[in-house]
């Protein structure tokens, strides 16, 4: 089957490349440790030119052979590659944002091969405390593409990670989102605080310890907030109630529990007074499994997982930009 598009998900630590056929069908995919903060440094010749630019080197490593075979393939990219530290900055678009207004706002950089790389802008939510996303908007649009029209209005899309995003959608648009730095805080506390000193890494997932952390966050003790309950990850170890192999999962449950408890409270105040919305999760399978477990404990009873969200979103944006033809409806 003939390829029609190269789609790149280019983040801080990794670069994922997809060769897509009609309707966004994945023909081939690759994952490289060539995020924008760890680009290749060894010069090499590309298209007859000795090249030292890290973005050019990573781009060629990811899909140079695909372009050798099909030089006219259009290329689209999302993620931190469009940040101020990226290959070419693609300015944020304001909420509400959808496929149409993002797809017609692509920034272009010409590679040494003579191929244009079309970069998707991020999304900004302007308020007293502004919120931004870059890369997640493409995943959200990929999920929306699979939904029956009108089914997204009682829906929250969650993207667990270092900076977890919770995205509200309406009429096919991203209208509001909240960010929680849960994953990064967990990493900092585990690697650079007293809480990590007694953690024993590498053990199998301890579901009981994780659930205990979630329940503490949801309990009356948790109402005082994470800055107080976090110390229990140490004190329970000192009293012998939590062994070293369980402490990391307890801390994970505690932080995720606080995140979801705060999210539920905000949603109830903002809109969902009778029942909480359905949830679609996008992300790493193991992390999504933890969030699914905690979401159930927090009262979110309708949780599903989305697959291939990034490549679906990139295909839809490429269609909106006119890089690939719109397929006729079946």
Give the chain as a 3 state SS string.
CCCCEEEEEECCCCEEEEEECHHHCEEEEEEECCCCCCCCCCCEEECCEEECCHHHHHHHHHHHHHHHHCCCCCEEEECHHHCCCCCCCCCCEECCECHHHHHCCCEEEECCCCCEEEECCCEEECCCCCEEECCHHHHHHHHHCCCCCCCCCCEEEEECCCCEEEEEEECCEEEEEEEECHHHHHHHHHHHCHHHCCCCCCCCCCHHHHHHHHHHHHCCHHHHCHHHHCCHHHHHHHCCCCCHHHHHHHHHHHHHHHHHHHHHHHHHHHCCCCCCCEEEECCCHHHHHHHHHHHHHCCCCCEEECCCHHHHHHHHHHHHCCCCCCCCCC
Could you give the CA distance from residue 306 to residue 105 in angstroms, rounded to a whole number?
A: 26
Q: Read off the CATH number of the domain in which 256 is found.
A: 3.30.420.310
Asked if residue 302 has pLDDT above 60, the reply is yes
106 and 199 in a single domain? The answer is no
- Arithmetic mean of pLDDT over the chain: 94
264 and 197 in a single domain? The answer is yes
**Edge-to-edge strands, sheet with 26-32:** 26-32, 15-20, 5-10, 75-78, 116-119, 107-110
Name the band, by pLDDT with cuts 50, 70 and 90, for residue 57.
very high
Could you give the CA distance from residue 203 to residue 245 in angstroms, rounded to a whole number?
A: 6
Taking the alpha carbons at both ends of the chain, their separation in whole angstroms is 19
Residue 148 has what pLDDT? 64
pLDDT digits (tens, 9 = 90+) for 134-185: 999 999 999 998 886 656 667 899 999 999 999 999 989 999 999 999 999 9
pLDDT digits (tens, 9 = 90+) for 219-260: 999 899 999 999 999 999 999 999 999 999 999 999 999 999
Name the band, by pLDDT with cuts 50, 70 and 90, for residue 202.
confident
Residue 146 has what pLDDT? 84
259 domain residue, yes or no: yes
Beta bridge pairs of residue 280: 157, 304
Range of the domain at 41: 5-132
Which residue is associated with the tokens 């849960």?
182
* Mean pLDDT value of segment 55-77: 97
110 and 229 in a single domain? The answer is no
Torsion 304-310-311-313 (CA) sign = positive
Give the orientation angle of helix 309-320 with respect to helix 136-144, to 10 degrees: 90
207 and 121 in a single domain? The answer is no
As for how many domains the chain has, the answer is 2
Whole-number Cα distances in Å, 149 to 14, 121, 144, 173: 33, 25, 9, 12
202 domain residue, yes or no: yes
Name the band, by pLDDT with cuts 50, 70 and 90, for residue 324.
very high
194 and 105 in a single domain? The answer is no
20 and 76 in a single domain? The answer is yes
33 domain residue, yes or no: yes
Residue 298 has what pLDDT? 92
Name the band, by pLDDT with cuts 50, 70 and 90, for residue 301.
confident
Residue 105 tokens, joined: 């706002």
255 domain residue, yes or no: yes
What are the backbone angles phi and psi of residue 59, rounded to the nearest 5°? -60, -45
* Mean pLDDT value of segment 101-129: 97
234 and 119 in a single domain? The answer is no
What are the backbone angles phi and psi of residue 93, rounded to the nearest 5°? -105, 145
pLDDT digits (tens, 9 = 90+) for 28-37: 999 999 999 9
- Of residues 250 and 202, which shows the higher confidence score? 250
Which residue is associated with the tokens 């270092």?
162
Could you give the CA distance from residue 242 to residue 209 in angstroms, rounded to a whole number?
A: 8
170 domain residue, yes or no: no
Beta bridge pairs of residue 254: none
155-173 as b/e, with b when 16 or more CB fall inside 10 Å?
Answer: bbbbbbbebbbbbbbeebb
187 and 123 in a single domain? The answer is no
């Amino acid at each position: 089957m003939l390829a029609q598009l190269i789609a790149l998900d280019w983040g801080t630590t990794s670069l994922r490349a997809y060769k897509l056929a009609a309707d966004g069908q994945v023909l081939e995919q690759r994952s490289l440790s060539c995020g924008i903060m760890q680009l290749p440094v060894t010069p090499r010749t590309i298209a007859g030119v000795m090249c030292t630019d890290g973005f050019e080197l990573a781009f060629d490593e990811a899909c140079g052979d695909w372009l050798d075979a099909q030089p006219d393939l259009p290329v689209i990219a999302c993620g931190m590659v469009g940040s101020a530290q990226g290959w070419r900055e693609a300015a944020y678009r304001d909420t509400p944002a959808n496929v149409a207004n993002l797809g017609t706002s692509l920034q272009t950089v010409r590679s040494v091969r003579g191929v244009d790389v079309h970069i998707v802008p991020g999304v900004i939510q302007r308020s007293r405390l502004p919120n931004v996303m870059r890369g997640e908007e493409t995943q959200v649009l990929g999920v929306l593409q699979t939904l029956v029209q009108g089914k997204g209005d009682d829906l929250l899309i969650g993207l667990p990670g270092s900076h977890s995003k919770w995205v509200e959608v309406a009429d096919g648009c991203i209208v509001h989102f909240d960010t929680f730095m849960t994953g990064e805080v967990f990493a900092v506390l585990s690697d650079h605080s007293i809480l990590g000193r007694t953690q024993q890494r590498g053990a199998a997932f301890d579901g009981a310890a994780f659930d205990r952390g979630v329940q503490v966050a949801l309990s009356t003790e948790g109402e005082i907030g994470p800055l107080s309950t976090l110390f229990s990850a140490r004190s329970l170890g000192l009293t012998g109630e939590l062994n070293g192999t369980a402490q990391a999962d307890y801390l994970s449950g505690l932080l995720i529990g606080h995140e979801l408890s705060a999210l539920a409270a905000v949603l109830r105040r903002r809109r969902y007074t009778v029942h909480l919305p359905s949830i679609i999760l996008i992300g790493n399978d193991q992390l999504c499994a933890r969030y699914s477990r905690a979401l159930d404990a927090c009262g979110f009873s309708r949780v599903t997982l989305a697959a291939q969200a990034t490549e679906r979103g990139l295909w839809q944006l490429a269609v909106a930009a006119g890089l690939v033809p719109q397929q006729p409806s079946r």
